[in-house]
Structure 1
Amino acid sequence: ENITLINLSEQQLILTIEGLSVEETNLYDGLLYEISLVNSYLCSKTTRSCLYFTISLAGDYTINDVDHIETEEQMFEWIHNIANRIAKQMISYTQLHNGGLILCQKVTHPTIKVQLKQYGIDTIDRLSRQNTSHFCYLT
């Protein structure tokens, strides 16, 4: 076994362990999010504006008035319009531009992700209920 301490602080402990088989691994509460070397600036200690959502941002909401939706294409168009409206509302917060972060406990619609990326806003979704407390601590 080769154990290497990478980082130790009050908030995190990062260890790499080489030589263990899959059966000998453990899971611990916390967050591990892999990013490329190009995006490593995201790990800096600079303050980033952040919005955290505990609802779905996929546009898959209950439609009260379904009489006007007759085809699958109309349903797709409705969901697409909702996703565009959500993205526009987020983009209106200019403090998120060029480095902001949108966190979503559930799913974020791909259209929303693309639109936010154009303004330099990163998204992380499907965080699950278990990770909510960790992100609330970070934000």
Structure 2
Amino acid sequence: MEFAWKSHISLLYPTPAQFTSFLGDVSVWQGVVTGGLMVLSPALFERLGWKGVASTTPIILMWGGSLFFAACMAFQFFLAGSPQAGLGHLTLQVLVYLGALLYVFSKSAKFSLFKPAEEMTLRPSCCLLS
């Protein structure tokens, strides 16, 4: 998913400065969303349980990644001929920004939900008593 998304970013932002600036903005939002999910994670663990929280990241990537990849394929086959004009450019923008949302939420869920859930399973039983 990430490779396809970054290749479409380079179509929308062709200069290295534009490309890097966009990825910097995405990184800022990733930090904001990760922090928010970390604040919410105790409530999510309580409500969804370990299994529900641990499965969040794979579900986001499976469904979101599949839809995103299908949209990328449709764009390449039907609209890539003139990405800078009209409908092709608008579609490319939507594709890049939706990919950014998917990237932000999948990485944020990984770092704030999946990794803590993984650590819970790897904690030795002696530490659970304290």
The two structures have a TM-score, normalised by structure 1, of: 0.29
Greater RCO (CA < 8 Å, at least 6 residues apart): 2
Structure number having the greater strand percentage:
1
Higher helix share: 2
- What TM-score comes out, normalization by structure 2 length? 0.31
Structure with max Cα Rg: 1
